[in-house]
Each structure stands twice: as C-alpha cells, then as structure tokens.
C-alpha cells in the first residue's frame, strides 16, 4: 500500500501508530484536534473530510521509510496477509563505555539474559516505553540515540522495536525482583556469553561493535 486512495478512521489510526506517537502528539503534528484523532480510533469506517484527507496525505508522503514500513505492516495484518501480533515490545540497548545493560529474567527454571524491555500499549510511544522500562527495571536513566528497526522476535513472535540508548546516570539495581533475577553491565565483547548471537537483532551487533 504505497498510496492511500482514501483515508478512513482505521487508516488514520494506523498512521498514528506507525508514527509511534500518542494521540495528543499525533494531533499536534497534523494540526488537528485531539478529538479528531480519538474519533479515528473509535470509528474505523468513518471518512475524514477532504481537507483532512489532504493533511493525512501530506503526513504520509513526508514520513520516513520506517513509518511507511510500520503503516504497511499494520495494513497487511488487517488484511490477513500476516499473523496479527498480540504484543508490541520496545527494547532498550543501553551502552556505557564498552558495556551494555542487561537484565536476567527468571521464568521457573529458565534463566535468560536480555535487554530491558516493556510492552507498548495501543497508541503508546515505543521510545518512551524503552526509557521508562529501563529506569523501572534497572534504576538507570538513559536517552534514546537511534531507532534500529523492528522485527518479529524469533522466539516470542512479538513485534519488537529496538533502540540504541546512551547511559545518562544511575546505579544498576534490580528494580523488579518479581520478574528479574539480576541486572548487570556486560562487556560488549562478551555479549555472546549472555545472549546467543543468533538471537540478537543484527543491527544491534553492528551498533555495539561501532562503540567498542
């Protein structure tokens, strides 16, 4: 779907999600009311007025490739071309002087190391979730440096958004003992000792290797 011939409430809601913005942020970007955006989400079959159609056309035309890919992905899910995902997850890859922040999850007898992550609710911001969940889980303040892309996770089948983040301040602590067994700064060179290389999103490895 490279061209949208007519916008509906559903398609406008997809564009909102593809931009990874709250309804308030999306309304501000388009220059429309928050109520209009809320109506798109509530009434998928509605047809916005002609002027609004032009505003949505312009927003889509000026969107980056990542936004367009997410929009197309959402449209294909709705059309039944690919399996709908129950979860969308934001993942923070926080780096600090040759180290990367990891959390150790414990599920019964299974213990796995992974990057801090959190579920993105519909209409939520993956960027904000990545920063917030890192703080909640580890006590570390970070800021997003770059969005590395998205993929369907090979194990969980969740739609994952990956972000390279810079350490700002804070001591690494286990802020969620109910889910995590430990928190650690792992040497980037030894990352494969914690997470099998074939499970790591390749752009993560490229971004981390550039910092070593």
pTM: 0.63
> What percent of the chain is modeled with pLDDT above 90?
55
Render pLDDT for 85-95 as a digit per residue (tens, 0 to 9). 457 899 999 99
Q: Mean pLDDT, to the nearest integer, of 55-74?
A: 88
The confidence score (pLDDT) of residue 108 equals 57
Q: Pick one of 3.90.79.10, 3.40.50.720, 3.90.1170.50, 1.10.150.570 as the CATH number of 88-209.
A: 3.90.79.10
CA distance 155 to 142: 27
Per-residue confidence band for 107, with pLDDT thresholds at 50, 70 and 90: low
H-assigned helices in the chain: 9-18, 23-30, 34-42, 50-62, 65-78, 126-138, 202-209
How does the average pLDDT of the chain come out, rounded? 87
Give 211's Cβ-side CA count (13 Å radius): 20
* Per-residue model confidence (pLDDT) at position 74: 81
11-26 confidence digits (pLDDT tens):
999 999 888 888 899 9
pLDDT band per the 50, 70, 90 thresholds, residue 145: very high
**Segments making up each domain of the chain, as ranges:** 9-78, 88-209
Task: Write phi, then psi, for 173 (nearest 5 degrees).
Answer: -135, 160
| Cα-only R_g, the chain | 19
């Amino acid at each position: 779907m490279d061209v949208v011939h007519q916008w509906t409430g559903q398609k406008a809601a997809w564009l909102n999600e593809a931009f990874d913005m709250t309804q308030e942020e999306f309304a501000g970007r388009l220059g429309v009311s928050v109520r209009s955006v809320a109506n798109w989400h509530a009434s998928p079959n509605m047809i916005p007025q002609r002027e609004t159609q032009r505003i949505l056309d312009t927003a889509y035309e000026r969107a980056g490739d990542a936004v367009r890919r997410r929009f197309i992905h959402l449209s294909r899910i709705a059309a039944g071309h690919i399996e709908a995902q129950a979860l969308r997850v934001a993942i923070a890859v926080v780096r600090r002087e040759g180290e990367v922040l990891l959390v150790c999850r414990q599920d019964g007898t299974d213990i796995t190391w992974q990057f801090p992550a959190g579920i993105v609710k519909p209409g939520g911001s993956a960027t904000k979730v990545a920063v917030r969940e890192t703080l909640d889980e580890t006590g570390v303040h970070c800021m997003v440096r770059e969005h590395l892309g998205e993929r369907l996770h090979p194990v969980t089948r969740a739609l994952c958004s990956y972000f390279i983040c810079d350490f700002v301040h804070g001591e690494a602590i286990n802020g969620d003992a109910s889910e995590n067994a430990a928190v650690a700064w792992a040497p980037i060179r030894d990352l494969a000792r914690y997470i099998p290389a074939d499970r790591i999103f390749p752009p993560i490895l490229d971004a981390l290797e550039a910092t070593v």
